[in-house]
Structure formats: C-alpha cells, structure tokens
Amino acid sequence: MDIWPGRAYPLGATYDGGGTNFSLFSELASRVELCLFDEEGRETRLTLPEVTAYCWHGYVPGVRPGARYGYRVHGPYD
C-alpha cells in the first residue's frame, strides 16, 4: 500500500474522491504510524511521511469513507 506526502490541513481524515489525506497534530511525537484495518481485522501500518508545523500527514490512495483506522504515536509520554 502506498502513502504519499499529503497535506497538513485540514486535520483529521479527509476524502477527496480518490483517496484520503490523514493529518494529526503532535508537538512531541518522534514518529506517527497510520494503522488501517481490513474487514477481517488485519492491520497495515504506514508511517506518516511528512511533518509541517507539528502536523504529521500523509495521503493514501484508495482509502474511502468508512475505512477503520487509528494512529500509533511514538515518543515521550510523560
């Protein structure tokens, strides 16, 4: 599965008709992974490739509304 740089704004998941842009704000993260889940619950992790003004972002072609996803944020937590 490919991931492209995407855009920092708007935050969240934004579908454009061909794929979805993902953007998450984190001032302290050292890496952010996008976790995508298929119908059987299998997980695919993609590292968000770009950071702009503390917004980690990436665009995934083919991801449509209704897709199950989450983020794994790496870095200090306390």
Residue range 18-30: average pLDDT?
97
For the four alpha carbons of 38, 42, 73 and 70, in that order, the dihedral sign comes to: positive
Question: Is pLDDT of 78 > 90?
Answer: no
Question: Is pLDDT of 19 > 80?
Answer: yes
Q: What CA–CA distance (Å, rounded) separates 32 from 65?
A: 21
Question: Is pLDDT of 77 > 90?
Answer: no
Question: Is pLDDT of 51 > 90?
Answer: yes
Contact 58, 44 (CB under 8 A): no
Question: Is pLDDT of 30 > 80?
Answer: yes
